[in-house]
Amino acid sequence: MWEFRQSLSIAHDLHSLSRNSRPAAKHTKKRILVVDDAEDILVMMRYNLEREGFQILTARNGEEALEKAQSLPELIILDVILPQIDGWDVARQLKHDRRTAGIPIIFVTARDTEVDEIIGLELGAADYLKKPISIGIFLARVRAAMRNLENSQGRGKDDADLIRMNGVEIDPGNYSVRLDGKEVLFAKREFELLSYLGQHPETVLSRDALLKAVWGQGIGISGRTVDVHIRKIREKLREYARHIVTVKKVGYKFSFDRE
C-alpha cells in the first residue's frame, strides 16, 4: 500500500507540472464514483480526476458505495478490500440492480493474483487495475472507459436496438448483420451469440454465461461450443473480428475501442 501511495504522489507531482504547462482540456462534466477506504488515495484520485474535468463522488465503504451509486454516475472506480461490504459484493449487487447494472466498473485494488483478476472480470468489470499503478496509466484507463461508454451510447433513439461500430451493423430485430453496408449471413446461434455480446459492450462474459443466455439452461453442452461459434463469427466479420476480444481463462467481450 505504501508503494501505491508513493507512486500516486510522484505521479501526482509530475501530472501537476504537465497540467500547469498547458491549458486545461475541456470536458463535459461526467460523474465518477470513487470507492476506497484510504483517505489519502481518495484525495489523490479525486484531485487528478477533477483536473481532467470529471465530477467526483467518493465513498469509503461498500454500503456508502451502493447508496451513492443510486445517483447513477457514468463510471465507478472500486477497491475490493472495503469495510462492511467488500468490492466483490458491491459489484454483484450493482449488476443485479436494473438501475445500476449498466454502469461500468473499474477495479483498482491491491488484490493482485490472477484468480482475483478473473473474479473481477467475471463480475462484469470493464477493467481491473492492480496497485501500485501510476496516475498516468490510471487516467488513461479511465478515459478509455469513458470513450467506450460514449461509443456504446452513441446510437440514435430511432434505431436504439441497432448495434453499430465502424463498418458493422447488427440488427437484433431482423436477425441481420451488415458489413460496410452489405448483408452477411449468420446462422441463428451465431447471430444470437454476436448480438448478445454486442448488447453488453465492454462486459466480460464467461462461457457459462453465454451458454445460458444463448442456448438456455440445462443444455448439457460444454464451453467449447461457444469457442467454435466465436471462431465462425470472427471468420465472417473478417477485419472487424478484432472487436470480439478473448479474455484468457474467462470468456469474451465485445469492445468498441479496438483499432
Q: Is residue 15 part of a domain?
A: yes
Same domain for 35 and 138, yes or no, is: yes
Q: Is residue 148 part of a domain?
A: yes
93-108: average pLDDT: 87
pLDDT given for residue 162 in this prediction: 81
Same domain for 206 and 148, yes or no, is: no
Residues 163, 174: contact at Cβ < 8 Å? no
Domain limit, last residue, from 128, 152, 176: 152
Q: How far is CA 140 from CA 59, 144, 191, in A?
A: 22, 6, 33
- Which residues partner with 163 through β-bridges? 170
pLDDT tens, residue by residue, 62-85: 999 999 999 999 999 999 999 999
Residues 31, 70: contact at Cβ < 8 Å? no
Q: Is residue 80 part of a domain?
A: yes
* Higher-pLDDT residue of 155, 185: 185
pLDDT given for residue 218 in this prediction: 54
172-192: average pLDDT: 88
The model's confidence at residue 17, banded by pLDDT at 50, 70 and 90, is very low
Same domain for 165 and 94, yes or no, is: no
Select the highest-mean-pLDDT range: 11-15, 16-20, 181-185. 181-185
Same domain for 174 and 128, yes or no, is: no
- Which residues partner with 127 through β-bridges? 106
pLDDT given for residue 153 in this prediction: 60
pLDDT given for residue 25 in this prediction: 42
Q: How far apart are CA 128 and CA 106, in angstroms?
A: 6
CATH number at residue 56: 3.40.50.2300
pLDDT tens, residue by residue, 28-63: 589 999 999 999 999 999 999 999 999 999 999 999
Domain limit, last residue, from 152, 179, 196: 152
Prediction pTM value:
0.56
Q: With 90 as the cut, is the pLDDT of residue 231 above it? A: yes
At 24, list the grid cell: 486545461
Percent of the chain with pLDDT over 90: 44
The model's confidence at residue 173, banded by pLDDT at 50, 70 and 90, is confident
Domain that holds residue 204: 158-254
Q: Is residue 115 part of a domain?
A: yes
Same domain for 9 and 41, yes or no, is: yes
Q: Is residue 118 part of a domain?
A: yes
Same domain for 20 and 99, yes or no, is: yes
Percent of the chain with pLDDT over 70: 82
> What's the count of helices (H) and strands (E) in the chain, helices before strands?
9, 12
Same domain for 124 and 178, yes or no, is: no
What's the half-sphere exposure (Cβ side, CA atoms, 13 Å) at 192?
11
Same domain for 86 and 124, yes or no, is: yes
Q: How many domains does the chain have?
A: 2
Residue 43 neighbours by CB under 8 Å, 6+ apart: none
Question: Cell 501500485 maps to which residue?
Answer: 132
Same domain for 62 and 117, yes or no, is: yes
Mean pLDDT (the chain) is 82
Residue 141 neighbours by CB under 8 Å, 6+ apart: 106, 127, 129
Domain limit, last residue, from 152, 186, 213: 152
192-221: average pLDDT: 84
Q: Is residue 20 part of a domain?
A: yes
The model's confidence at residue 24, banded by pLDDT at 50, 70 and 90, is very low
pLDDT tens, residue by residue, 116-142: 888 888 887 888 898 988 899 899 989
Same domain for 9 and 117, yes or no, is: yes
Q: Is residue 259 part of a domain?
A: no
Same domain for 140 and 168, yes or no, is: no
Same domain for 181 and 200, yes or no, is: yes
192-200: average pLDDT: 90
CATH number at residue 238: 1.10.10.10
DSSP state of 220: -
87-112: average pLDDT: 89
181-200: average pLDDT: 89
